[in-house]
Amino acid sequence: MSRKTEHTPANGSLQERLEKSGRRLTAQREHVYDVLLQKKDHPTAEEVFIRAKKGMPDISMATVYNCLDALVSCGLVRQVNQDRSATRYCSNLRKHHHFHCDECGRAYDIDLLPDAPLPDVPLPEGFLASQLEVTVRGRCPDCAGRSTKQTSSAS
Amino acid sequence: MSRKTEHTPANGSLQERLEKSGRRLTAQREHVYDVLLQKKDHPTAEEVFIRAKKGMPDISMATVYNCLDALVSCGLVRQVNQDRSATRYCSNLRKHHHFHCDECGRAYDIDLLPDAPLPDVPLPEGFLASQLEVTVRGRCPDCAGRSTKQTSSAS
DNA sequence: ACCTTATTTAGAATAATTCTAAATATTGAC
DNA sequence: GTCAATATTTAGAATTATTCTAAATAAGGT
Render pLDDT for A10-58 as a digit per residue (tens, 0 to 9).
555 899 999 988 999 999 999 999 999 999 999 999 999 999 999 999 9
pLDDT at A2: 40
CB contact under 8 A, B138 and A120: no
Distance CA B111, CA B108 (A): 9
Task: Kindly list the residues from chain A whose CB atom is less than 8 angstroms away from the CB atom of residue B128.
Answer: 138-139, 144, 148-150, 152
Q: What are phi and psi of A24, to 5 degrees?
A: -100, 155
Contact, B23 CB vs strand C, < 7 Å: yes
Average pLDDT of every residue of chain A: 87
CB contact under 8 A, A119 and B124: no
Mean pLDDT of B28-47: 97
pLDDT at B150 over 50: no
Chain B residue closest in CA terms to A132:
B136
Nearest to A127 among B126, B128, B138 (CB): B138
CB contact under 8 A, B150 and A128: yes
Half-sphere exposure of A93 (CA within 13 A, CB side): 12
Interface contact A80, partner B, CB < 8 A? no
A 107-146 → B contacts, CB under 8 A? 108, 110, 117-141, 144
